[in-house]
Amino acid sequence: MNVDFPFRVDGRGRSAAADDDEHVRDLIEQVLFTAPGERVNRPSFGSGLLQLVFAPNSDELATATQFLVQGALQQWLGEVIDIGDVDVVSRDSTLEVIVTYRRKPSGQSRTATFSREL
């Protein structure tokens, strides 16, 4: 059993559970939207993605952001997934990240979209 992220209580008053696919998606979301230094016992955990939002928009920044995200996912989840493609899009006040990955144990390919209001 995997604990759902973000943590919540289910209808039975217990910690909500997530199946394996949901759990992997939750792990990716945690890596993407956690800033390095935010976790006390893992100061290098995260991607720093949200810090790049304030940089001037350019093709170079988009490419750097994709490499940053791909590297963070590979570093922290490399034993769980193979990263296929990462696309980062900033629209108005929303940051959207589309990640294509393959789960290592099962070999199933997935595409997940994550977004944050800035």
118 has a pLDDT exceeding 90:
no
Pairing of the two strands 94-103 and 17-18: unpaired
pLDDT (tens digit per residue) in 22-66: 888 989 999 998 999 998 999 999 998 887 766 666 667 777 788
112/102 Cα distance (integer angstroms): 11
**Which residue ranges make up each domain of the chain?**
2-117
99 has a pLDDT exceeding 90:
yes
The structure's pTM equals 0.81
Q: pLDDT: is 78 or 3 the higher one?
A: 78
Predicted local distance difference test score (pLDDT) of residue 7: 73
Predicted local distance difference test score (pLDDT) of residue 53: 66
The H-assigned helical ranges of the chain are 20-33, 59-77
Backbone angles phi, psi at 2, to 5 degrees: -115, 140
Average pLDDT over residues 98-109: 91
pLDDT (tens digit per residue) in 74-93: 999 999 999 999 988 877 77
What architecture does CATH give domain 2-117? Roll (3.10)
